[in-house]
């Protein structure tokens, strides 16, 4: 127990250091920041969830004391607690007549979506406790991004003709300005979904990478699961529907609904990817099909994720891959 706590404290210090270097703002600092959850996940999967909890607490307290309280709280909400929670779920198991049953990977995907959305809303509330302040900051961010991608081109001034004395003045509206404002408003409304979508994908990658590292070291307590056979439970479809309804609520409740929609679409895309791998097993030319699919994903810059999301939704709803007889051991 003491050894686990010592290892957890060391992992927390490493994770806090990786998170803190983000203040430098360099490309290398951003890369190191992206690795911050890995030490907590590694000790959680390789030693125990208590070691991961010790790492989360250590990193948060160090950042609060050394830098500022906000940094420690942000680290806890966005990095440490999600990493500890996923490591805890991954090592859950129960005794059954057929033997030890580990927590299903499909349910893990559902929890990853919920964790990503809650992490986003936590950091949003920490940054702007007032919803009006959050909305103002988001609108400024959206307008600055739209302006940076589509700078306004102003024509050279022309000589103005002398207006007639009796000609009435008519107000003029700039249609490009209206379009840009509408584009910025639309972008601001989907920012929570995009952020939670990306965070859900990252959490899946972090959990997979940490498990691979721990497996290589021989400390992974759970057998490696058959990832292509991952099946999300149908109640995740109900959760997605409830999130879509929640997105119409005012204030931070609506923001949480939008973030949940984005996070669940991410994990349903991964469900579709797993289903494609599973259904192609044993078929001739499987390697070519998988290579072509990943090439399409790369070339279209993620646009094909929409098709994978629909495939994942259909795979979960139709339930075609699940055995119809008694559950296999």
Q: What tens digit of pLDDT does each residue of 56-70 get?
A: 999 999 999 999 999
282-328 pLDDT tens trace: 888 888 988 888 888 888 877 778 888 998 999 888 876 554 444 43
With contact defined as beta carbons under 8 Å apart, do 117 and 196 qualify? yes
Rounded average pLDDT over 230-243: 93
For strand 93-96 and strand 99-102, is the pairing parallel, antiparallel, or unpaired? Answer: antiparallel
Q: Which element (helix H / strand E) includes 55?
A: helix 49-66
Question: Hey, how many other C-beta atoms are within 10 angstroms of the C-beta on 204?
Answer: 19
Measure CA of the first residue to CA of the last residue in the chain; give whole Å.
Answer: 33
Q: How confident is the model at residue 114 (pLDDT cuts 50, 70, 90)?
A: very high
158-171 pLDDT tens trace: 555 555 555 555 45
More confident residue, 245 or 303: 245
More confident residue, 214 or 99: 214
d(CA 37, CA 14): 10
Strongest mean pLDDT among 86-100, 130-144, 249-263, 290-304: 249-263
Question: Hey, how many other C-beta atoms are within 10 angstroms of the C-beta on 226?
Answer: 11
Q: Per mean pLDDT, which range of 5-19, 81-95, 219-233, 299-313 is the poorest?
A: 299-313
Q: What are phi and psi of 149, to 5 degrees?
A: -80, -30
Average pLDDT score over the chain: 85
d(CA 48, CA 1): 9
Q: How confident is the model at residue 151 (pLDDT cuts 50, 70, 90)?
A: low
With contact defined as beta carbons under 8 Å apart, do 62 and 72 qualify? yes
More confident residue, 134 or 178: 134
Q: What is the DSSP letter of 325?
A: S
pLDDT of res. 148: 66
Q: Per mean pLDDT, which range of 10-24, 115-129, 248-262, 274-288 is the poorest?
A: 274-288
């Amino acid at each position: 127990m003491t050894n686990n706590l010592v290892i957890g404290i060391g992992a927390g210090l490493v994770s806090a250091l990786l998170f803190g270097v983000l203040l430098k703002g360099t490309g290398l600092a951003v890369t190191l920041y992206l690795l911050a959850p890995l030490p907590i996940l590694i000790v959680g999967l390789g030693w125990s969830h208590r070691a991961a909890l010790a790492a989360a607490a250590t990193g948060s307290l160090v950042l609060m004391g050394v830098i500022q309280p906000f940094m420690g709280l942000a680290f806890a909400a966005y990095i440490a607690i999600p990493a500890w929670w996923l490591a805890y779920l991954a090592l859950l198991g129960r005794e059954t007549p057929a033997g030890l049953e580990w927590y299903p990977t499909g349910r893990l995907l559902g929890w990853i979506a919920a964790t990503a959305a809650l992490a986003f809303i936590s950091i949003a509330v920490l940054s702007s406790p007032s919803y009006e302040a959050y909305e103002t900051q988001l609108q400024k961010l959206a307008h600055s991004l739209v302006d940076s991608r589509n700078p306004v081109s102003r024509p050279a001034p022309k000589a103005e003709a002398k207006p007639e004395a009796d000609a009435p003045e008519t107000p003029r509206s700039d249609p490009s300005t209206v379009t840009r404002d509408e584009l910025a408003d639309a972008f601001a409304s989907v920012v929570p979904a995009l952020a939670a979508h990306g965070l859900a994908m990252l959490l899946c990658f972090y959990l997979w990478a940490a498990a691979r590292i721990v497996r290589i070291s021989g400390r992974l307590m759970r057998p490696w699961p058959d990832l292509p056979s991952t099946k999300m439970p149908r109640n995740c479809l109900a959760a997605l529907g409830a999130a879509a309804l929640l997105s119409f609520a005012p204030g931070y409740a609506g923001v949480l609904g939008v973030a949940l929609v984005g996070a669940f679409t991410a994990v349903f895309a991964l469900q579709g990817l797993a289903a494609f791998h599973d259904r192609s097993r044993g078929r001739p030319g499987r390697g070519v099909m998988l290579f072509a699919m990943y090439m399409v994903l790369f070339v279209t810059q993620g646009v094909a994720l929409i098709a994978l999301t629909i495939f994942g939704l259909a795979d979960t709803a139709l339930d075609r891959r699940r055995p119809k007889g008694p559950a296999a051991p």
